[in-house]
Amino acid sequence: MTMNSQGRPTRAESAGTTEEASDTPTLTGNRGLMIRESLIFEKDAFGRTGVDLPEPKPRANRLGGLERREGIGLPGLSEPETMRHFVRLSQKNYAIDMGPFPLGSCTMKHNPRLNEKMARLPGFADVHPMQPEATVQGALELIHVLARWLKELTGMPAVAMSPKAGAHGELCGMMAIKAAIEAKEEAATRVRVLAPESAHGTNPATAVQCGFRVDAIPADKTGRVDLNALKEKLGEDVAAIMVTNPNTCGLFEHDIRDIADAVHAVGGYFYCDGANFNAIAGKARPGDLGVDAMHINLHKTFSTPHGGGGPGSGPTVLSEALAPFAPVPFIVERNGRFHLIERREAAKSAGAEGAESFGRMTAFHGQMGMFVRALSYMLSHGADGVVRAAEDAVLNANYVLARLRSELTAAFDGYCMHEALFDDRFLKGTGVETIDFAKAMIDEGFHPMTMYFPLVVHGAMLIEPTESESKAELDKFCDALLSLARRAKAGEVAAFKAAPRHAPLRRLDETSAARKPVLRWTPPQPAEAAE
Ligand SMILES: *Cc1c(COP(=O)(O)O)cnc(C)c1O
């Protein structure tokens, strides 16, 4: 297998090369009661439909010859065929409701059903973003209360609620930083953004999007920002530093105050990637750590559903220095009424928050359904429950770290926060790579952890169990991984290369799927018409 310098495969092993890969094929292509499913367009049959509509009454044609002459290419299926198609597809989708989802950095925790119930209340589910303010006071109040919780938990004076995901929240924070720099007339000189090597890809991408140049800070031996290397890179041209805390190695950056002070001393801002807030919610406040802006992934920390492309939500808290540049819209409360400040001119007269707003990031006010779910999570847990969730998340990760240490190689010494990072040293000489190990986990019924991220360790495996998993579930997971590690060391390399053997599809060429996606179905050419 071809590997890049991080030990990440650059192309897939071709499937079915080993003997074991040729499992007995079935006539239908189905495996057990897992039904093979073709594309909906391939199931199309002319004239089939799920509804009976009366023949339209003849009318005078007023289209002046512009009417469509061919069909529009919608697939024709009956109602039961449509139903089965989508249910079968849904069953191929692994979900947090089916089992553990140990993806590191993703915080795939259980989505409490109470939250779903609240989000479906007609007063929340049915509101329209263009309803008059007077008719949506409850919805505005909910956003306002949620904002208060977020400010309280982070110790920050302001929060922009409209960003729609973590990456969007990063963009919000960095745009506020950019606006603050422009207001100081330093835009021409403050052009550099520092980010650790272990940063999530969205951090440098956001900085570049905002017109900055990214400069990587190396990690020290303990997996944290190398403070001396950072200080050497500081200068008057530094616009900001982007640091994740706890970082993507699952470790708390204990020099965080010194990092903040050093960056502030040269006139730069501190953007904190708050995706891992689940580990410290209620325990440490980013506002006390010198943070100027931080996004919060409601879809991670506050249990709103994600995975599979559902909506996220990335409210971004802002410090005193950045609050005036907050985007519109935001909500202000006056005499018990809630008002949406939608325009920059209105923001100017509304007070400190957003007085110099950099503008608008999104058409409306943010992800209402996610706001309801997140607030429902907070209120049902209470202040003590939120702290307990963070503590249990850290406890669970350390349990996994402690149990797996005997066979797998932990990337760093000591305890971890909410996720446990392993590298591939334990596989050295076995012929088994991180990717084979992950594929073999699928056969054992476990969704793999995050692999090959962060880039600072070779062949990374990042496990985030979250607080939702019971000890019994964690034990089963650890037992499976320990057994796989022993089998790899015992020389069962062929079995690993052939995995997954029990999945509907086997080894896929994931690199090509990502680099050269085929997003369009082209109908097979009809057989040549006989002349
Ligand atoms: C998830 C994550 C992001 C991005 O959040 P999205 O909601 O996926 O855009 C950024 N940084 C880190 C560390 C993350 O884990």
pLDDT at 252 > cutoff 90? yes
The 10s digit of each residue's pLDDT in 107-135 is 999 999 999 999 999 999 999 999 999 99
Mean pLDDT calculated for residue range 500-527: 84
Beta strands per DSSP E along 405-471: 409-410, 420-423, 450-451, 461-463
How many angstroms does the Cα of residue 84 sit away from the middle of ligand 1?
Answer: 34
- The answer to whether the peptide bond before residue 329 is cis (omega within 30 degrees of 0) is yes
Q: Given a cut of 50, is residue 218 above it in pLDDT?
A: yes
Q: What Cα–Cα distance (Å) separates residue 219 from each residue in 78, 195, 367, 402, 413?
A: 58, 10, 36, 23, 14
Res 19: pLDDT: 40
Ligand 1 neighbour 167 (Cβ under 6 A): yes
H-helix or E-strand spanning residue 442: helix 434-443
User: What local confidence, expressed as pLDDT, does residue 348 receive?
Assistant: 80
Mutate which of 105, 164, 245 to test ligand 1's pocket (most atoms within 8 Å of Cβ)?
Answer: 105
Q: Do domains 114-375 and 383-512 have the same CATH topology?
A: no
Rounded to the nearest whole angstrom, what is the distance from the C-alpha of residue 275 to the centroid of ligand 1?
6
Q: Does the pLDDT of residue 477 top 70, yes or no?
A: yes
* Per-residue model confidence (pLDDT) at position 27: 87
The domain spans of the chain are 114-375, 383-512
The string of DSSP letters for 298-353 reads: HHHHT----SSS------EEE-TTTGGGPPBPEEEEETTEEEEE-SHHHHHHH-ST
Nearest Cα residue to atom 6 of ligand 1: 166
Q: Can you give the length of the chain in residues?
A: 531
In this prediction, residue 385 has a pLDDT band, given cuts at 50, 70 and 90, of very high
Report whether pLDDT(14) > 70. Answer: no
345's CB contacts (< 8 A; 6+ apart) are: none
**Percent over 90 (pLDDT), the chain:** 75
> What superfamily in CATH does domain 383-512 come from?
Aspartate Aminotransferase, domain 1 (3.90.1150.10)
Q: Whose CA is nearest to atom 15 of ligand 1?
A: 105
> How close is the Cα of 362 to the center of ligand 1, in Å?
19
SS3 content of the chain, % helix, strand, coil (to 5): 35, 10, 50
Q: What is the pLDDT of residues 62-121, one digit of tens each?
A: 998 898 888 788 889 999 999 999 999 988 888 999 999 999 999 999 999 999 999 999
Q: 12: pLDDT confidence band, cut at 50, 70 and 90?
A: low
Across-strand partners of 339?
Answer: 332
What pLDDT, on a 0 to 100 scale, did the predictor assign at position 380? 97
Burial class of 58 by CB neighbour count within 10 A (0 to 12, 13 to 18, 19+): exposed
What's the 431 CA to ligand 1 centre distance in angstroms?
Answer: 32
Q: What is the pLDDT of residue 528?
A: 57
Measured in Å, residue 438 CA sits from the centre of ligand 1 at: 22
Residues 188-211 have pLDDT tens digits of 999 999 999 999 999 999 999 999
CATH 3.40.640.10 fits 114-375, yes or no: yes
What is the mean predicted confidence (pLDDT) over 458-467?
97
pLDDT recorded at residue 309: 65
Return the closest-CA partner of residue 181 out of 258, 88, 266, 251. Answer: 266
Which amino acid appears at position 60 of this protein? A
Angstrom distance (rounded) from CA 37 to CA 29 = 9
Q: Which two tokens stand for residue 263?
A: 């960056």
Q: 528 burial class (0-12, 13-18, 19+ CB within 10 angstroms)?
A: exposed
Average pLDDT, the chain: 92
Q: 410 by DSSP, 3-state: which?
A: strand
Q: What is the pLDDT of residue 296?
A: 98
CB 432 within 8 A of CB 396: no
pLDDT at 23: 63
